[in-house]
Amino acid sequence: MSTSHPLSIASDNHAPIAPKILEAIIDANHGSAAAYGTDEASKEAYETFKKAFGPDARTHLVFNGTAANVIALKSMLEPWEAVICARSSHLHLDECGAPEAVGGFKLLTVDCPDGKLTPTQIERELIRRGDQHYAQPRAVSITQPTEWGTLYSISELEALRAVIERHGLLLHIDGARLSIAACALKTSFAHIAKASGAHAISFGGTKNGLMGAEAVIVFSKKEGNRIRYLRKQMMQLPSKTRFLAAQFVAFFDNDYWNELARPAIETAQFVHSQLREIKHISVVQDVQANSVFVKLPRSWNKHLKDKAFFYVWDDHENIVRWMFAYHHCPDDLQDFIATLKNLDQESLLRTPPRPEA
Amino acid sequence: MSTSHPLSIASDNHAPIAPKILEAIIDANHGSAAAYGTDEASKEAYETFKKAFGPDARTHLVFNGTAANVIALKSMLEPWEAVICARSSHLHLDECGAPEAVGGFKLLTVDCPDGKLTPTQIERELIRRGDQHYAQPRAVSITQPTEWGTLYSISELEALRAVIERHGLLLHIDGARLSIAACALKTSFAHIAKASGAHAISFGGTKNGLMGAEAVIVFSKKEGNRIRYLRKQMMQLPSKTRFLAAQFVAFFDNDYWNELARPAIETAQFVHSQLREIKHISVVQDVQANSVFVKLPRSWNKHLKDKAFFYVWDDHENIVRWMFAYHHCPDDLQDFIATLKNLDQESLLRTPPRPEA
Amino acid sequence: MSTSHPLSIASDNHAPIAPKILEAIIDANHGSAAAYGTDEASKEAYETFKKAFGPDARTHLVFNGTAANVIALKSMLEPWEAVICARSSHLHLDECGAPEAVGGFKLLTVDCPDGKLTPTQIERELIRRGDQHYAQPRAVSITQPTEWGTLYSISELEALRAVIERHGLLLHIDGARLSIAACALKTSFAHIAKASGAHAISFGGTKNGLMGAEAVIVFSKKEGNRIRYLRKQMMQLPSKTRFLAAQFVAFFDNDYWNELARPAIETAQFVHSQLREIKHISVVQDVQANSVFVKLPRSWNKHLKDKAFFYVWDDHENIVRWMFAYHHCPDDLQDFIATLKNLDQESLLRTPPRPEA
Amino acid sequence: MSTSHPLSIASDNHAPIAPKILEAIIDANHGSAAAYGTDEASKEAYETFKKAFGPDARTHLVFNGTAANVIALKSMLEPWEAVICARSSHLHLDECGAPEAVGGFKLLTVDCPDGKLTPTQIERELIRRGDQHYAQPRAVSITQPTEWGTLYSISELEALRAVIERHGLLLHIDGARLSIAACALKTSFAHIAKASGAHAISFGGTKNGLMGAEAVIVFSKKEGNRIRYLRKQMMQLPSKTRFLAAQFVAFFDNDYWNELARPAIETAQFVHSQLREIKHISVVQDVQANSVFVKLPRSWNKHLKDKAFFYVWDDHENIVRWMFAYHHCPDDLQDFIATLKNLDQESLLRTPPRPEA
């Protein structure tokens, strides 16, 4: 795909830098600044994260989400401890084995049709504790919103917290799109952190309008100290941190994150609303965040790809993912929706609709 | 240190983004673009690197220099193979153990007073080849310019190439400041690559005026394919690659790198020239790149630190490093030099100069 | 459990050293011998393995099965390649995360109710090949006999071979009890190797009458060379190899392995045959090797544990594993069977039998 | 080299199993026994180690010395912490990179001409503590006796203890031949442990008459707990532990270790005493343990190798190592010494002796 494609709904990381974020980078570009997180912009960012996530939040900026996940988990785990996660998680499917190869830890994957782990599923994994032959289940990693565009509600997060505390586990949130979740749930980051009792959060910027920056947030001094060294050893200590920090400061300033999340969610909801009258497709997951997963007749793909760039998510079932970002609005999708409706009409003329499994 | 310090000569990564680099980022920020290196800007960058380093150059963009070094070496090595390097190398001293912990490989360190490995030193390390008990020396990693601000001449690179080829070794160049070397040697990157016969190069941008981007360049298809996966697994695959790529395209455009390197070198040379008349100090390394290493009376440190931010490089000997970047010019240093001269005068009044060991 | 327990049917590694194996150790104990696999006994062992597995077999002796599995797989894989295996495999459940932490590779686990992977299941895992974000499925690891005491038939092995070859995969056999399989299938090791087309085999001795020795067998020169170094680096190069080698030489001599396997299998079959008339239990897997998995009323456990030491394999379902070794014979189990029958009678008096799920 | 070579003085691991050790293996071979260290023999071994090393000693049996070293160190270190050791240490030279590749930690090597680290050398390595860029020096690993056959005296161990405690470091002893040291120093293991304040000891059996077993001894509960899992994950949990345990029980019984160490030391001393009158050679290290390092005319090697198997330790200088074990006695070496004297006479006839550097 080229930068000149008219419309990409393939991923929120296809979006450009949001205007105020770019301004913040430009503004940070005057004079010399210390490196490696000791500059003024970084200090401001740490305070900003404390305001957003609570006074115990200790933040370390890193380059990307894979690293945020692996470093966050590694900071909490002994080498023989394992992570319970959904089989559909980015951690398992999309990190090219970084958790195992770089983090050195095992993932205990659980089938979660909607991407969400339940307390019961977690408890089912708690076998053979204290048995030296078995990688010990210790951390639970959830994604909020999930890779299937669904959300844990606040009460679901509270239920997770209860099971985590009852069994002495540790909770990690892969929050590559946590600002989407906070916007959709109409709540604050601190509320999500508190309700879930998260011990570590990978907080994403890049998918939410930043040029490129992620944060690892932990809430204890011990893990904070470990991350100082682990981040560097895991090759994720940026030098010119002011430019990452400035992006996050702008992101939180006046809840700019909320302004960026809202159009992404609303565009997804708009598209979802338009799909109801289309007979030959099925929306396979609740639309709660900024993505819509749709099972399509395979023959439609090429026609739709003329209108927008997107990925087939499940090749076997021909489930596609349409994902929206801050720079999208319903109007951008009118032509795409029209094409869908035309395809549906043509199909109707040929064959009556059948529900697809 | 704060962004508001008047003058930092502590590191070239304290510099802001060079004007044309920032412009390139801004220019890249229109519309959607594919991620993970498949965008148009990335493709342009790959071609740009081919022009600079030769048609076999295969380039992968990464976030920082630690990662460039570890990925470049890992792509060439079997798990039991070791890397010969100077004890003063960044690879050994400044990566928090990443080569060992993340790369999994041993460093065979050699004492190099001027930071440069010699063919004789390399050959001395070639023991016990084929012995399963001994981590097998396979790659040689040099830094150009070195961490001590010295340069391998073209004929020294050719001599390294000869020993590398004779013994079936592999050469890696840590080129975090390779553009400084090319400018100082008045040569091209391709010439350095060819003279040294380098198998892999970590090519730095961040220390030379970029906001943040490094490149791993290899010259064979096999290593290129390995790096595709290794980069992702080692958590160094950026998503919005257009913004890293655009920086490099601008860096090479019209030899902008040369414009950025020249003032850094010239300022170092100017400072060096001013030091000759100062009696109580000694310049401990040849000044060939953009840094000056000076042994000072310890009591001077605090006075000098009022004028500029810099690091004591060897605390035991009180050797300091003054490092210059594209945004420095001789004038910026006038006040600092004056302070040095005053300190020297005051010392002269108290005690006659003695040569320091 | 103490050495003085009258009867252990918990694991075949509770058995003592088989007589001819101990004799071989004693016989090897004269004079000096070179270490690290260069002694005469080791050379004899390598030839012995070639006779058993075919002329291309390259054998490296190691200490235990965990290591045999990890080294065998590591010798075949690039760092970003993953292993398809049953969720019930020892590799996944019983190595404390060694594949991930020491091998650095991801396991792609598949639910196999009888412990056996099918070609269809393997093919279902072959997604996203060539996608740098996804740990690439490359090796398939099967256990023969499985951890559930079942066997792949020769034709099932041939079907695996076909799918392995079709997709350019690599087959590893965890053969911790491969001699049980060969005896039960009434075939040779070479036939199993050839039918399956195995690229690497972990061949077990310890569970089959040896004091302690395992072998990694590969069939190509490339992997053989890798294992030389990998074995040492993975801390599995024994020094006094003559004592490991002598055990294997005796094991293969005159098919002693067959003599050791037969009573283990026959005792399992005898016990299985006696269970048919017991109403309150169910045998949950085919009895094809040297173990019997039985679902029991939980209240029986303590009575049975007075008679023999064994493990509850699935605590939730109260499935127990009874495992037999070369030193067992049907007579040893008479008292245990009688206890089972008594428990069944007592239960019958109290409640009519109900089938348990 | 073959088992039939008349005399090996190449390594103490060329020796056969000492008689009482083999008897202990044979005696342990009755009936069933639990596996993985829960058997009676293992429990007896743990108590035996407590008697030898003090009541806080927590012992885990492993297969070989490479593993003992790596596991001992890994149990004490955070991932970013480094180990100070002699450049001549087995840890650095003879583990094929296992500390780095499997342990994940960096070795900070120090030149020690006699194999012994001094407090001053250790303190010189204590730079940049708290600096996230630098792998943090934390453990010190010494070998007792050293790889050069020298010994730390009790007062040298006490001096190490002082520097370790002063700087919050951790001491590891590679004691592959610690029984040689205890015998030579005419002291107990507990005294060595106490004088040095060792936090972890790799205690060797295999080089001192055992068939094959090593022990990791730590003195705190925290490290003991870590080792339980680390040992298994690092593929070093033996199943039939009774046979390793029984060897150690016999080793300590009635100070059998002392009986085994004495002839090894005495044979080394005898050989050393015979070398004094030989003009053309020089003994390059103090002979304090069971080995003699001798610089020879290179032309002598082949004649001497007809009489005994041994290794050239430094090919450049033609320094050879002659190492003696429990089964050697001065008489065994008479012929070898005579050959040496003959070679010396022949050389004298040709050229007057010159001292070699």
d(CA B238, CA B236): 6
Provide the CA D111 distance to its chain's centre, in angstroms.
19
> Are B134 and D96 an interchain contact pair (Cβ–Cβ within 8 Å)?
yes
Q: Where are the alpha helices (DSSP H) in chain C?
A: 19-28, 40-53, 65-76, 90-93, 98, 119-124, 154-166, 178-184, 189-196, 221-233, 241-252, 256-275, 301-305, 334-350
> Are C100 and A132 an interchain contact pair (Cβ–Cβ within 8 Å)?
no
Q: Where are the domains of chain A?
A: 17-256, 259-349
d(CA A100, CA A69): 12
A79 → closest Cβ in C82, C93, C101? C101
**Nearest CA to CA, how far is A98 from chain C (Å)?**
8
Residues of D in contact with A230 (CB under 8 A): 79-80
The three-class DSSP label of residue C85 is: strand
d(CA A187, CA B94): 42
Per-residue confidence at C75, pLDDT binned at 50, 70, 90?
A: very high
**Nearest CA to CA, how far is D350 from chain C (Å)?**
36
D96 → closest Cβ in B100, B101, B133? B133
**Nearest CA to CA, how far is C222 from chain B (Å)?**
12
Q: How many interface pairs between B and C have CB atoms less than 8 angstroms apart?
A: 43
Tens digit of pLDDT for each residue in B109-120?
Answer: 999 999 999 999
D233 → closest Cβ in C31, C41, C96? C96
Q: Which pair of structure tokens corresponds to residue B108?
A: 């065979």
- Specify whether the CB–CB gap between C42 and C61 falls below 8 A: yes
Before B6, cis peptide (omega within 30)? no
Q: How many interface pairs between A and D have CB atoms less than 8 angstroms apart?
A: 43
d(CA B108, CA B169): 14
CATH 3.40.640.10 fits D17-256, yes or no: yes
Residue C348 pLDDT: 83
- Among the listed residues B64, B207, B197, B75, the one whose alpha carbon sits nearest the alpha carbon of residue B147: B207
| Share of residues in chain B with pLDDT > 90 (%) | 94
Interface test with C, best of D235, D247, D309, D336 (most C CBs within 10 A): D235
Q: Is the pLDDT of residue B225 over 50?
A: yes
> Are C16 and D5 an interchain contact pair (Cβ–Cβ within 8 Å)?
no
Per-residue confidence at C350, pLDDT binned at 50, 70, 90?
A: confident
Sole residue written with tokens 């010159």: D354
C80 → closest Cβ in B78, B135, B229? B229
Q: Please list, in sequence order, all residues whose beta carbon lies within 8 angstroms of the beta carbon of residue B274, skipping any fewer than 6 positions away.
A: B333, B337, B340
Q: Which pair of structure tokens corresponds to residue C162?
A: 């076909």
Tens digit of pLDDT for each residue in B237-249?
Answer: 999 999 999 999 9
The three-class DSSP label of residue A195 is: helix
Q: β-pairing, B291-295 with B319-323? A: antiparallel
Q: Is the pLDDT of residue A74 over 60?
A: yes
> Which residue numbers of D have CB closer than 8 Å to A's CBs?
36, 74, 78-80, 104, 132-133, 135-136, 226, 228-233, 237
d(CA B290, CA B267): 7
A17-256 and A259-349 share one CATH topology?
no
Q: Please list, in sequence order, all residues whose beta carbon lies within 8 angstroms of the beta carbon of residue B21, skipping any fewer than 6 positions away.
A: B209, B210, B211, B247, B250, B251
Q: In degrees, to the nearest 5, what angle opens at C-alpha A37 toward C-alphas A32 and A38?
A: 65
Is ipTM over 0.85? yes
Sole residue written with tokens 């019930």: C88
**Nearest CA to CA, how far is C270 from chain D (Å)?**
20
Per-residue confidence at C224, pLDDT binned at 50, 70, 90?
A: confident
Residues of B in contact with D315 (CB under 8 A): 127
- Among the listed residues D204, D239, D206, the one whose alpha carbon sits nearest the alpha carbon of residue D38: D239
Residue A154 pLDDT: 98
Residue B2 pLDDT: 40
**Nearest CA to CA, how far is D257 from chain A (Å)?**
31
Q: Which residue of B has its CA nearest to C129?
A: B229
Positions in chain D whose pLDDT score sits under 70: 1-5, 351-357
Q: Please list, in sequence order, all residues whose beta carbon lies within 8 angstroms of the beta carbon of residue B85, skipping any fewer than 6 positions away.
A: B91, B92, B107, B108, B109, B110, B117, B140, B141, B142
CB burial readout D246-285, b (16+ within 10 A) else e? bbbbbbbeeebbeebbbbbbbbbbbbbebbeebebbebbb
Q: Which residue of A has its CA nearest to B62?
A: A63
Interface test with B, best of C76, C233, C239 (most B CBs within 10 A): C233
Q: What is the pTM of this model?
A: 0.96
Q: Is the pLDDT of residue C3 over 60?
A: no
d(CA A311, CA B197): 41
Q: How many residues are there in chain D?
A: 357
Residue B352 pLDDT: 59
Sole residue written with tokens 């390097």: B85
d(CA A327, CA A267): 10
A134 → closest Cβ in C96, C105, C135? C96
Q: Is the pLDDT of residue B64 over 80?
A: yes
Q: β-pairing, C200-204 with B81-86? A: unpaired
- Among the listed residues A120, A95, A176, A148, the one whose alpha carbon sits nearest the alpha carbon of residue A287: A148
> Are A133 and C79 an interchain contact pair (Cβ–Cβ within 8 Å)?
no
- Specify whether the CB–CB gap between A246 and B211 falls below 8 A: no
> Are D309 and C238 an interchain contact pair (Cβ–Cβ within 8 Å)?
no
Interface test with A, best of D132, D225, D234 (most A CBs within 10 A): D132
Helices C65-76 and C221-233: crossing angle in degrees, nearest 10, is 130
Q: Which residue of C has its CA nearest to B78?
A: C226
| Fold classification of B259-349 (topology level) | Aspartate Aminotransferase, domain 1 (3.90.1150)
Q: Please list, in sequence order, all residues whose beta carbon lies within 8 angstroms of the beta carbon of residue A196, skipping any fewer than 6 positions away.
A: A142, A144, A152, A157, A158, A160, A161, A171, A173
**Nearest CA to CA, how far is A210 from chain C (Å)?**
21
Instruction: Please give the average per-residue pLDDT across A267-282, as a whole number.
Output: 97
- Specify whether the CB–CB gap between B289 and B148 falls below 8 A: no
d(CA B170, CA D36): 44
Residue A353 pLDDT: 53
d(CA A63, CA A71): 11
B217, β-bridge pairs: B59, B201
Tens digit of pLDDT for each residue in B192-223?
Answer: 999 999 999 999 999 999 999 999 999 999 98
Residue B357 pLDDT: 42
Instruction: Please give the average per-residue pLDDT across A97-113, as a whole number.
Output: 98
D135 → closest Cβ in B96, B106, B315? B96
Residues of A in contact with B67 (CB under 8 A): 235
Q: Please list, in sequence order, all residues whose beta carbon lies within 8 angstroms of the beta carbon of residue A315, skipping any fewer than 6 positions away.
A: C127
- Specify whether the CB–CB gap between B16 and A29 falls below 8 A: yes
Instruction: Please give the average per-residue pLDDT across A241-249, as a whole number.
Output: 98
Q: 3-state SS of B135-182?
A: CEEEEEEEECCCCCCCCCCHHHHHHHHHHHHHCCCEEEEEECCHHHHH
CB burial readout C241-262, b (16+ within 10 A) else e? bbbbbbbbbbbbeeebbeebbe
Q: What is the DSSP letter of C298?
A: G
Compute φ and ψ for C109, nearest 5 degrees. Answer: -90, 145
